[in-house]
Amino acid sequence: MKSNIEGVYYSHLITFLYMTKKLLFLSAALLLGFCVIGKPALAAEFKSGQMVNISAADKIGGDLYAAGNDVSIDTNLPGDAFLAGSIVRVSGSVGQSLMVAGSMVNVMGPIGHALRVGGSQVTIGSVVEGDVMAAGGMVYILPTAVIKGDLYLASGSAIIEGKVMGNIKATGGEVALRGEVGKDVYVESEGLALGPQAKLDGKLTYKAPKEATMADGSKVVGGVDFKKVEKMERGQIRAEKKEINWKWISVWFLGMLAISLVAAYLGNYFFKQRVSDITNNVLNNFAKQMGWGFVWLVVIPVACLILLVTIVGIPFSFFACLVYALAIALAKVLAGIILGSWLWKLITKKGANGNGKGWPVDWKSILLGVVLISLLSLIPVIGWVIVFIFFLAALGGIMTAAKAIAK
pLDDT reported for residue 37: 40
Q: What are phi and psi of 231, to 5 degrees?
A: -70, 130
C-alpha–C-alpha distance, residues 329 and 320, integer Å: 14
- Digit-by-digit pLDDT tens for the chain (407 residues) are 444 444 444 444 444 444 444 443 444 444 344 334 444 434 567 776 678 899 888 888 888 877 767 889 999 999 888 787 778 899 999 999 988 877 789 999 999 999 988 778 899 999 999 999 888 788 999 999 999 999 998 888 899 999 999 999 998 889 999 999 999 999 998 899 999 999 999 999 999 999 999 999 999 999 999 998 876 444 443 444 444 455 556 656 666 777 777 778 877 877 888 888 999 999 999 998 988 888 888 777 777 667 666 555 566 666 677 777 777 888 888 999 999 999 988 888 877 665 567 888 888 888 889 889 988 988 888 888 999 999 999 998 988 887 777 66
Q: How far apart are CA 72 and CA 106, in angstroms?
A: 9
Cα–Cα distance measured from residue 344 to residue 347, given in angstroms and rounded to the nearest whole number: 5
pTM of the model: 0.55
For CA atoms 66, 295, 330, 273, the dihedral sign is positive
Number of Cβ within a 10 Å radius of residue 382: 9
Q: Tell me, what's the pLDDT at 69?
A: 75
Q: Which residues lie closer than 8 Å to 159 by C-beta, 6 or more apart? A: 139, 140, 141, 176, 178
Residue 122 pairs in a beta bridge with 105, 139
Contact 54, 70 (CB under 8 A): no
d(CA 75, CA 5): 37
Which among 330, 215, 353 is positioned nearest to 280, based on CA atoms? 353
* CA 36 – CA 29 distance, rounded (Å): 10
Q: What is the pLDDT of residue 139?
A: 92
Instruction: Note the Cα 382 to chain centre separation in Å.
Output: 28
Q: Can you list the pairs that 171-177 forms with residues at least 24 positions away whose Cβ atoms lie under 8 Å? A: 171/9, 171/13
